[in-house]
Structure 1
Amino acid sequence: MFCFRVFGLYVFKTSKKEEDVESDGPRLNDKITSETVRLVSEEGHCIVTLKEALRRAKELKHDLVEVQRDAKPPVCKIVDYAHDKYKNDQVGKERAKAKRAEVTIRPEVKEIHFTPKIDAKDLQFEAKQASILMEM
């Protein structure tokens, strides 16, 4: 008598890399993996080591943010990330509010239907409702 056991394992492959799945936003500070980065600042841009860029960001008490991941070397900026994210969220809220205000308001159309077999009492009620609607 033979006993067989078969175990199956489903493997799902995704096209995204693990580092892309980690976070949707830009990489900050220690999450940047490149050895050298192109540091963009008000004075211009230069290519420096990651340690040097992190040191400069720490001196200014800001974050090193990877702006363009696909470039060779990756492009980074020194910014106060929390403040910038707050400002962007506020702009998004203002846009949503403006979009809601742009929606045109249609006038309400009220209808009253009379049938041939309406009772006198119901006819008086409908007439009263019609006069109330016309006063609005």
Structure 2
Amino acid sequence: MTHDDAGINANILHLPFADATRSVRHVFVRDYETEAEIGVYSHEKGAHQKIRINVDLSVLEATDHHDDQLDNVVCYHDIVKGIQTILTAGHINLVETLAEKIAALALDDNRVIGVRVKVEKLEAIKEAMSVGVEIERHRRP
């Protein structure tokens, strides 16, 4: 087992998204737990399930300083509000679809050059702590 950057035992290794040589900052949302209408099976339709979402963003830093102003940075609160908007829009069949929608939301900000999204269903398989998907997407030049 490897350790992720949150210091918790995990079976995946998160690569660092911050890189001073490229003027890239790491913005993240860690272990956001909520409920969602998600799943393809009949017992999942019209029901809410517990999910956990992690989002890692590679963000280009401006050449000038952010001046301690929220408008000058990518805000993790805006990412969470965007996730909530996606989830309240209606039923989603696949965790893959939810991950792609979150990645697209993040990449809508031109300062975001890369995003990793992990979506976990916490109660789908009784014998497993969680099941889900993790994707990584980059801005196309």
Higher helix share: 1
Normalised by the shorter chain, which TM-score bucket? under 0.3
Higher RCO by CA contacts (8 Å cutoff, separation 6 or greater):
2
Larger radius of gyration: 1
- Normalised to the residue count of structure 2, the TM-score between the two structures is 0.22
